[in-house]
Amino acid sequence: MGVLGGFGPELFDKAFDNARVAAERVTFPVRLAEKDAIQASFTSPNQIDPFTVPLADKLAFMQAMDAKLNQPGVFQRICQLTFTRKQIVFMDSEGSEIEKTIVEVFPSIQVAGLDAQGQMHSRTYQPPRMGDTRGWETLDMEVFSENAERIVREMNEVLAADDCPKDVRSVILLPGIMFLQTHETIGHALELDRILGYELAFAGGSFVRLSDFGALRYGSEKLTARADATIPNSPGSFGYDDDGIPAQNNLLIDKGLLVGAITGRQMVEEANARANKVIFDGSSGANRATSFYRVPIERMTNINIDPGDDGTLDDIVSHTERGIILDGDKSWSIGSNREQFHFATDIGWLVEDGQVTRVVKNSTYQGETVPFYNSLSAVGDASTWEVQYTPNCGKGQPNQIMQLGHGVPVCRFDNVRIGE
């Protein structure tokens, strides 16, 4: 419950009344998984706190970014620098006292243009996390310059391109769309509160059942996914969750086999009780709240796909007979149990006999989650792996916005429907 203007007796009276009536409908009494009492602090790694940088310097940086985008063919350009600082003090009656200061920088640039039919097409660059810090020092004008030139060129190629054909092909997902594929069909699908039915009033459930852990072949043997809240440079790393559980690095999918979920203290107890066996050995440290007036719920940390041994992007392309390379998150729509999906991307490059042939516009692909991941036929090496961030993942009623990350390589999936 959130009430402005201090902590008066009225606040506690209302909270008590809310709890009193809620107690009239209880089907599984709340129990919390055991944890250690922790006294600790966490500060996200920063060399330069962006909040100490003068506003004039920030605007000068953005104007320099913007100047790089002001090129022929560009109808609209957007430069964005978002800075956030969260100061969280967590205390509980179990003896934990944790103080966190989390500072983030979220930059992006976007260009849009109109094609001959008046249709708008855009291209976006959101730099992957580089280095081991998250502060102002991560903003590299050289990187923006290179990528500004690239996205303007690619957007102009899209403006002149034909539509993506309706076909069945291999799709090669670059990190700029693979992160969202991972987010929507591995991340959300493996949130334990969704699996247990706590999001059915709105966001939906999950095709995953408790009996699937240790049994479901979620993907091919090339698929290893993990929830890793320990990588230093991503917003999905926060030291301790809002239950006071230390950050962890847990396998979710091990060589294709489903082995783990995104969990908090309450849900693991309920899941184990419902399954009548221990599936989850304690919380995975993934309960977070968007603000002081919302309750913590299961949120993704950094939901990552491990790099594979299929080489570089060029290597994967050279071993693809009929495919399409896709990048950019233009549109996404996912089934209520995360069982199927439809994505549209900013750009596509057709691949024929191991060669990139031409750019296409209005690219889309769709599939069913489990067959799709079981068609994973190539996973790029570490050179293709990038940590992409998500600054605005929405979940819950009332809604909560959360920041997180996805470390993903280039991935190829076979026999996928495109162009619909």
Partner 1 sequence: MKDQILHTLQDLRAYALQKGVEASFFYHEEDSYLMRFANSAISLNTNERLIRLEITAHKDRQRASYELITALDKLDEMQRGVDIAAEMVQHAQPLSYQPTIPVYTESFSDESAYDPALATLSNEERLAFFNRVAAGLETDAIQLSGIFSCGANILAQINTRSEHTQYFKTSDAQITIVLSHTALKWEVSAEQSAQQKADLNPDVLRRDLVFLVEHYQHDTPQQLPLGTYDIVFGPSAIADLLDFMGFIGYNGGLMKRGFSFLNEDQVGQRVLSSKFTLTDDPTRRETFPFQRDMMGIARQPFPVFANGVFEGFVWSQDEADEFGAQPTGHTVMHNSIVMQGGDVAASTLQELVAMPRENDVLYIPYLHYMNVVNPSKGLITGSSRFGALLLKKDGSVVVPYNVRLTQSLLDIFGDKVAWLSQAQVVVNASSSYGARNPRAIIVPALLQVNGLEISHSNPSY
Stretch that binds partner 1, among 81-89, 116-124, 248-256, 378-386 (CB under 8 A): 116-124
Is residue 334 a contact partner of residue 184, using CB atoms and an 8 Å limit? yes
Q: Name which of residues 211 to 240 contact partner 1 (CB under 8 A).
A: none
Among the listed residues 201, 276, 277, 353, the single contact to partner 1 using CB under 8 A: 201
Q: Which residue has the tokens 């102009």?
A: 156
376's CB contacts (< 8 A; 6+ apart) are 219, 220, 222, 223, 411, 412, 413
Backbone φ, ψ for residue 92 (5° rounding): -140, 170
Contact stretch for partner 1 (CB under 8 A) within 40-48, 52-60, 175-183, 279-287: 52-60
Counting beta carbons within 10 angstroms of the beta carbon of residue 398, is it exposed (0 to 12), middle (13 to 18) or buried (19 or more)? exposed
Show the binding pattern over residues 336-365: x = contacts partner 1 (CB under 8 A), - = does not: xx-xx-x-x-----------------x-x-
CA distances, 262 to each of 186, 347, 389, 407 (Å): 10, 32, 18, 16
Strand partners, 87: 101
Contact pick of 8, 9, 72, 398 for partner 1 (by CB under 8 A): 398
Interface residue with partner 1 among 118, 142, 281, 353 (CB under 8 A) is 118
Query: Can you read off the two tokens belonging to residue 57?
Result: 């310097």
**Binding residue (CB under 8 A) for partner 1 from 52, 55, 142, 281:** 55
165 binding partner 1? (CB under 8 A): no
Stretch that binds partner 1, among 22-30, 225-233, 254-262, 281-289 (CB under 8 A): 22-30
Pick from 7, 8, 9, 27 the residue near partner 1 by CB under 8 A: 27
- Residue 57 or 94: the one with the smaller Cβ distance to partner 1 is 57
- Cα distances from 98 to residues 93, 151, 249, in angstroms, run 13, 43, 20
DSSP 25: S
Contact status: 368 vs partner 1 (CB under 8 A): yes
What is the spatial distance between Cα 418 and Cα 136, in angstroms, rounded to a whole number?
40
DSSP result, 168-203? EEEEEE-HHHHHHHHIIIIIGGGBHHHHTTTTTTTT
Could you tell me the smallest distance in angstroms from the CB atom of residue 345 to partner 1?
11
The C-alpha atoms of residue 418 and residue 157 are separated, in whole angstroms, by: 20
| 20 forms part of the interface with partner 1 (CB under 8 A) | yes
Of residues 228 and 269, the one with the C-beta less far from partner 1: 269
For residue 199, list its beta bridge partners: none
Interface contacts to partner 1, rule CB under 8 A:
1-5, 14, 17-22, 24-28, 55-56, 59, 63, 66, 75-76, 112, 114, 117-120, 196-202, 204-205, 207, 293, 295, 331-337, 339-340, 342, 344, 362, 364, 366, 368, 394, 397-399, 401, 420
